[in-house]
Amino acid sequence: MMHIRFILPALLLAGAGAGAHAQTTDAPAAPALTANVALTSQYVSRGFRQTWGQPAIQGGIDYAHPSGWSAGTWMSSVSDKFIEGGTIEWDLYGGYAGAVGDVSYGAQVYYYRYPGAKLQATHTSYDYGELVASLGYKWISAKYWLTYTPDYFGFNSSSLGIGAGLHSRGSGYAEVNGTFDVAEGTQLLVHYGQERVRNFAAYSFRDARVALSKSFAGGWTVTGACTRGWGRTDAYDRYTTGALDSAGRPAISDPLRGTVLVSLARTF
């Protein structure tokens, strides 16, 4: 049986604090250092269930300068059934964001690390990096994530057994998001995204998410979401890293199948 392996970056929590809009006020705004922590029923990103349907704990620290420059880091627990030998995703990011009237824009660089995780058969690392450009108008925004490292999550000829000497640098993820205020402190998020894996089209995919978030005093937020992913082919239908289930058999699942999750987060 062919073992299929890959992971996606955190979008909602990691991206939320990765850049503050530049502001013009009578007095210069002070640099902001914030932290966030969250407990979620499962970690789902770009449609993939990265904790194999189990809960995850997540958290990060973000620094935003009044000029629009920012930097941060974010971590989440992950499942070794999704990432061979992996227990943690660690994101590092920085960039610039600004706004002109109702138009917002930004550019950032991300690097994703999975300490201790490796495709043992080929000694392939899961670590990779992306550049992201964003543009928004009022309630709608679009982003494009471009892989700048040699491989996107270790996708290459050696790890996938396809072709010879091929890598996945230049893979891209395009997404469109709509954010709507439905009541005071309550927002509806609608998301659609599509990943193109360069040189390995069979592993391209699409995903959609609908989420409802409610904010409370003290920096608390409760979110409920429905997610769904679709592979271009059946490449992800019987996903396994070789990790064993409770019965001692290789754990096999479709990580893109539709699911529901809830999370509780706090920003300090």
How far apart, in whole angstroms, are the C-alpha atoms of residue 16 and residue 245? 34
- Do 75 and 91 touch, CB atoms closer than 8 A? yes
Indicate the pTM of the whole model. Answer: 0.88
Residue 169 near residue 142 (C-beta atoms within 8 A): no
236-264, pLDDT tens digit by residue? 988 988 888 888 888 999 999 999 999 99
Closest CA to 63 of 92, 35, 105: 35
- DSSP string spanning 2-22? ----------HHHHHTS----
pLDDT in tens, 125-174: 999 999 999 999 999 999 999 999 999 999 999 999 999 999 999 999 99
pLDDT at 2 over 70: no
Domains of the chain, each with CATH number or no CATH: 12-267 (2.40.160.40)
Residues above pLDDT 90, as percent of the chain: 80
DSSP assignment of 92-116, as one string? EEEEEEEEETTEEEEEEEEEEE-TT
Q: What is the pLDDT of residues 46-71, one digit of tens each?
A: 999 999 999 999 999 999 999 999 99
Task: Tell me the C-alpha to C-alpha distance, in Å, between residue 12 and each of 141, 198, 254, 258.
Answer: 13, 25, 22, 18
